[in-house]
Structure 1
């Protein structure tokens, strides 16, 4: 069932941020409210500029634009450029799938998620910006793809449940990679401190 993976992942994320984050965590309430807003709006659709929008996709776009407004000019420019690249990756995959679907031998959700995540990791070293850039680029890719199909009189809903599944999966992959980086950094720091202790002992 399309959309089930999105709901499962985002509800799990809401439970973690609400009940397992430290109460004094600076982003606990913000992230929890953001996730809850996305889940609630995922069941709502809007008609804007002749296109059908899923509420979650529109919510992602608006909130990331607000985030960009608070960045410095150079940071905002790089964020927009990197998101543009991710948008191109997304719309290229969707067009490739449309014109030559026989080559999509792997589950499309996984293939799209892995492709965009790979691009995100190459473009961003800041762990906090990875998820936001990924969301921004993927949803804009959907918008561009919908406008292309509209020219051929095809109707395509932006941020459909199937797309939200791929998006949620991509978020999980990025968070998993961020966790691995943190674990690796912790062990590197630990072993360096052990080595320094041994050196001092031998001296």
Structure 2
């Protein structure tokens, strides 16, 4: 069922933001609002010229551009280069799926998610940067892919649930990888705190 990964991951993230994350976190309310709005807009479609667009995808793209605009000029340029690379990879995967589907050896969402996950790790160092280029590049890829299909009179919903599923899956993989990357620091801080406690007690 398309959209299942998106809905599960969004609700899980919203629950984490609302009930688990410390209330002093300055990004807590903003992120929770973004997730809720994306969920609400996920069933809204509208037409722009010849193209049908799902509102949540366009909303996510706008949020990504907002985050990118807060970077310095060099950072903005690099973000757009990275997102363009993701866009090309996204479109290429879809085109190969049409012209040579035999190489899709398992679920395409997982194949694409793993490929985008690897690219994001190579292109960006932070989890925030990786998520931005995945969601922005993926949506840009949706627009470009729809434009290509439109040349052949094939209808395509831009930002459909398949896109949301792939991006959500990639985001989960990136979050897991980020946890592994920071595991050493977390454990080091934990043991350092534990040793301090032992010294005080002695």
TM-score when scaled to structure 1? 0.90
1:69 deviation in Å?
A: 1.8
2:74 aligned residue: 74
2:25 aligned residue: 25
Deviations 1:176-203 (A, max 9, x none): 1111111123335678999xxxxxxxxx
| Greater displacement, 42-51 / 72-81 | 42-51
Query: 5+ residue gaps in structure 1?
Result: 195-203
Size of the aligned set, in residue pairs, is 194
1:142 aligned residue: 142
Deviations 1:137-185 (A, max 9, x none): 1111111110000001111111111221111111111111111111123
SS at match of 1:177: helix
Coordinate RMSD, CA, aligned: 1.7
1:92 aligned residue: 92
Cα distance in 1 for residues equivalent to 2:154 and 2:173: 32
Work out whether residues 109 and 165 of structure 2, in 8 Å CA contact, stay in contact via their aligned partners in 1. yes
Cα distance in 2 for residues equivalent to 1:148 and 1:17: 38
SS at match of 2:177: helix
Work out whether residues 138 and 163 of structure 2, in 8 Å CA contact, stay in contact via their aligned partners in 1. no
Query: 5+ residue gaps in structure 2?
Result: 195-202
Work out whether residues 18 and 32 of structure 2, in 8 Å CA contact, stay in contact via their aligned partners in 1. yes
Alignment of 1:35-50 (within 5 A): 35-50=35-50
1:199 aligned residue: none
Deviations 1:120-150 (A, max 9, x none): 0000002221111110011111111100000
Cα distance in 2 for residues equivalent to 1:163 and 1:121: 19
Q: Which runs of 4+ in 1 moved over 4 A?
A: 188-194
1:182 aligned residue: 182
1:63 deviation in Å?
A: 1.1
In structure 2, relative to structure 1, the CA distance for the partners of 1:49 and 1:68 (3 Å cut) is farther
1:85 deviation in Å?
A: 0.5
Cα distance in 2 for residues equivalent to 1:7 and 1:152: 32
Cα distance in 2 for residues equivalent to 1:95 and 1:49: 23
In structure 2, relative to structure 1, the CA distance for the partners of 1:44 and 1:119 (3 Å cut) is same
The reply to whether residue 5 of structure 1 matches residue 25 of structure 2 is: no
Work out whether residues 139 and 163 of structure 2, in 8 Å CA contact, stay in contact via their aligned partners in 1. no
